[in-house]
Structure 1
Amino acid sequence: QMCWFDDSLISLYFTIQIRITLRFSSPQALIPFLFLPFASALFPTSLTPHQFQNPISMRSDDGQWRCRVPVNKVAIVGGTHGNERIGVHLVTHFTENPELVTRPSFSTSVVLSNTAAVEAIGTGAGRRYVEEDLNRCFSNQRLNSEPCDAESVEMKRARELDMLLGPKHSEKPNSDFIFDLHSTTANTGVLLCYHQHDTFSAALCSFLQSRDPSVSLLLWPAGADLGLLPTVGRGGMTVEIGPMPHSTVNSTLLRRTMQLLQDSLDFIHQANTLQGLPPPPPQPPRVFSSAGSVDFPRDAEGRITGFIHPDLESKGELREGGALRDGDFVFQNLDGTPVPFDRATHVPSLSGQDSELYPVFVNEAAYYEQHKAFIVCNRVS
């Protein structure tokens, strides 16, 4: 077992200047002392064998960042969904210009993930997937299963990527940190998603949001056995950027993604070397967690009868003042009638709760097949 601090304390971590002048025999010995003020909030958690057993974490020593476990190997992955072309083009660009992602203190590999979907001919350039969503194939359960001839193209590729970037069960995976590049049709802006226990990602994301307050942060769904590609490494994040129609690239958003990656790689290098980083941000980061999803209005036969209302479509996602309240229009029926949001009706599992809900992935094209018009989130810091 290992001790973790509750995700609600992540924000508290960024607001306190921790000054410790003790000598430790090993980096691991630092953790109990670092979080000694929060000892009553620590809890033991039994984790399945993947990257969070040996997390990369950050500490503030005299107001400075530092890696407990140096980041030696970084991977930048694109094309996990074949029609999200921003990652595909950046992988090609970085492969041809490796100096852009090279830093002295670590190596960087660049990987095109779902090659079959990238090459497939769909309604545009590439398809989201050929047989199933590659970004759901990396759970321990599936990677541990016996390979068989009937496996999907994506599952076979997941095993290859696990060996290339992981393995997920290894104490020494081939990647210390993975950036998985995506685009979305939703109005997310720059959205960074990571695991609640990945404290290095939390630190990096806090740094990036302090440089650009428009960056939004979203925790991956709770649970230890996630099927997301970055989980095969020791740590990592999903980079979502939108709005961008599938099979297309918006040059402005492309440049923003490139700058974000440059800032991220600089942060990792400076954290490795203890040189050049500013002190941790004085304010806690703005972080959200998924609370549920809302489906479109449907008739008795399951056909959609109403679509996203213009008021919701134009709303900036996960923004200050952007909470969704009962009575706000969320759908518009085919006859033009607006449909107001009602927590008890649209998200019954949250009925009776008074926490604010924020929409994200509104009208994401890939979620139509999953019966999701949008996701609702709680703000955790």
Structure 2
Amino acid sequence: MAVSSGTDPVRRVAIFGGTHGNELSGVVLVKHWLKHGEEITRPGMEVRPFITNPRAVEKCIRYVDTDLNRVFDSENLRKEKTTNLPYEVKTAQDINCIFGPKGSDDAYDVIFDLHNTTSHMGATLILEDSRDDFTIQMCHYIQISLTPVPCSVLLIDHPSMKYAASRSVAKHPVGVEVGPQPHGILRADILEQMRMVMKYALDFVQHFNEGREFPPCSIEVYKVMEKVDYPRNENGDITAIIHENLQDRDWQELNPGDPMFFTLAGKTIAYEGDCTVYPTFVNEAAYYEKKQAFTKTQKAKCQHLKESLGRKTSLLSSA
């Protein structure tokens, strides 16, 4: 099966760093590639590294006014530019003009958005459409190439859980999340994992453009179910923390009855769900403000089954 069959070559690729200004692996890599582009150069396509939130990067903070990775919705992108418009909304509009417009034929083919997490997630790819054969094949290629380093795939394919991310401007959006790394610092091992993910991602696009054959494949994904908040009192204050048995156990089983939270009074709060789930973004520092202790996921499979990547031929099934 020629993967290029029925699908146009990928000609324009962007690599975003600094969507959150204190997630430094992406910031440092993009700044490096802006000066040393030969590392990401691939024949026949434009690969454009881009610092998405320069003011936040300069201050080494997550954002200036509001989360840039939540404002690429149609309402914010259409707002009139005024002096009181949040900085990140103005920035999103500029990014949409450069790399979009979102949802149009003129939008960039692929955007990789580089992020760090304080959670113990390792290398993680974020997929937003279980029917996108191109990104399914890409994830499969990256996973095989990174072996024995694990690379998980988080599928955000739930209408109520989707958010207006910066990468959503592209026809094929791909999130790259690597951790654990505290915000505002660098770790050599985490940066190298992100660097290798991007190497293999760009290699895949090159092979795709050259018409290399990729057989039908299936990848295991963790499909987002819902977000779980910390226990709180009537004033909204957190009353329990992540239990030590759950801490640093992203992607591992959480079964009914397993410890989930722990109060300062010494009480364990167990998971009371009716099925096994796989938590991720466990105790992510940036999500305290979003009232999110972790995200519940369930295992599933994304499959590219048919010959033409130009058609929506993937199936999502429970694992």
Deviations 1:186-223 (A, max 9, x none): 01101111221433212101221233351111122434
1:202 aligns with 2:118: no
Query: Does the 8 A contact of 2:158 with 2:225 survive in 1?
Result: no
Are 1:256 and 2:204 an aligned pair? no
Instruction: Give the 3-state SS of the residue equivalent to 2:25 in structure 1.
Output: helix
Residues 100-125 of structure 1 deviation map (CA, whole Å, 9 limit, x = unaligned): 000112111110001111112xxxxx
SS where residue 111 of structure 1 aligns? strand
Do structure 1's residue 156 and structure 2's residue 90 form an aligned pair?
Answer: yes
- Equivalent pair of 2:283/2:294 in contact (CA under 8 Å): yes
Structure 1: distance between partners of 2:282 and 2:216: 30
8 Å CA contact retained: 2:145, 2:200: no
Residue 330 and residue 245 in structure 1: after superposition, are their counterparts in 2 closer, same or farther (change >3 A)? Answer: same
TM-score (norm 2): 0.88
Q: Secondary structure of 1:216's match? A: strand
Identical-pair percentage: 35
Are residues 1:292 and 2:226 paired?
A: yes
User: In structure 2, the residue corresponding to 1:117 is in which secondary structure?
Assistant: helix
What SS does the corresponding residue of 1:155 show, helix, strand or coil? helix
Specify every segment of 5 or more residues in structure 1 that has no aligned partner in the other structure, as ranges.
1-60, 121-125, 344-352
Cα root mean square deviation, aligned: 1.8
* 2:256 counterpart SS class: coil
Q: Which residue of 2 aligns with 1:367?
A: 287
* Offset at residue 169 of structure 1 (A): 3.8
Instruction: Quote the offset at 1:341 in angstroms.
Output: 1.1
Please state whether the residue corresponding to 1:264 is helix, strand or coil. helix
Q: CA separation in 1, counterparts of 2:205 and 2:124?
A: 19
Residue pair 1:71, 1:106 contacting (<8 A) in 2 also: yes
2:34 maps to 1:99: no
Deviations 1:42-89 (A, max 9, x none): xxxxxxxxxxxxxxxxxxx1xx53361210011011000011011110
More strand by share: 2
Number of matched residues?
A: 296
Matched, 1:324 2:244: no
Contact 1:72/1:107 (8 A) holds in 2: yes
Larger RCO, structure (CA 8 Å, separation 6 or more): 2
Q: Write out aligned runs for 1:1-381 (5 A).
A: 61=1, 64-66=2-4, 68-120=7-59, 126-173=60-107, 175-196=108-129, 197-212=131-146, 214-223=150-159, 226-275=163-212, 279-280=214-215, 284-315=218-249, 317-318=250-251, 322-343=252-273, 354=275, 356-381=276-301
| Native 8 Å contact 1:181 1:239 kept in 2 | yes
Q: Secondary structure at the match of 1:296?
A: coil
What is the DSSP-based 3-state SS (H/G/I as helix, E as strand, rest coil) of the residue aligned with 1:369?
Answer: coil
2:65 and 2:88 in contact (8 A); partners too: yes
- Contact 1:217–1:288 at 8 Å: present in 2 too? yes
Mapped partners of 1:359, 1:261: distance in 2: 25
CA distance in 2, matches of 1:172, 1:373: 38
- The separation in 2 between residues aligned to 1:222 and 1:326, in whole angstroms, is 23
Asked whether the equivalents of residues 358 and 378 of structure 1 are also in contact (C-alpha less than 8 Å), the reply is yes
8 Å CA contact 1:242, 1:253 repeated in 2: yes
**Conserved in 2, the CA contact under 8 Å of 1:290 and 1:376?**
yes
1:305 to 1:113, Cα distance in 2 relative to 1, 3 A:
same
Contact 1:77/1:111 (<8 A) preserved? yes
Three-state SS of the structure 1 residue aligned to 2:199 is helix
Contact 1:185 1:243 in 2 (8 A): yes
**Is the Cα contact below 8 Å between 1:192 and 1:218 reproduced in 2?**
yes
Q: State the Cα deviation string for residues 23-53 of structure 1 (Å, max 9, x = none).
A: xxxxxxxxxxxxxxxxxxxxxxxxxxxxxxx
User: Aligned with 2:202: secondary structure?
Assistant: helix
Classify the secondary structure of the residue corresponding to 2:245: helix
Deviation at 1:310, TM superposition (A): 1.1
Amino acid in the other structure paired with 1:265: L
1: CA distance between counterparts of 2:61 and 2:31?
18
Judged with a 3 Å threshold, the aligned counterparts in structure 2 of structure 1 residues 308 and 195 are, in CA distance, closer, same or farther, namely same
- Structure 2 vs 1, CA of residues 338 and 182 (structure 1 numbering), >3 Å: closer, same or farther? same
For structure 1, which segment, 357-366 or 215-224, has the greater mean C-alpha deviation from structure 2 after superposition? 215-224
- Give the residue type in structure 2 aligned to 1:215: C
Q: Answer whether contact 2:103 2:171 (CA < 8 A) is retained.
A: no
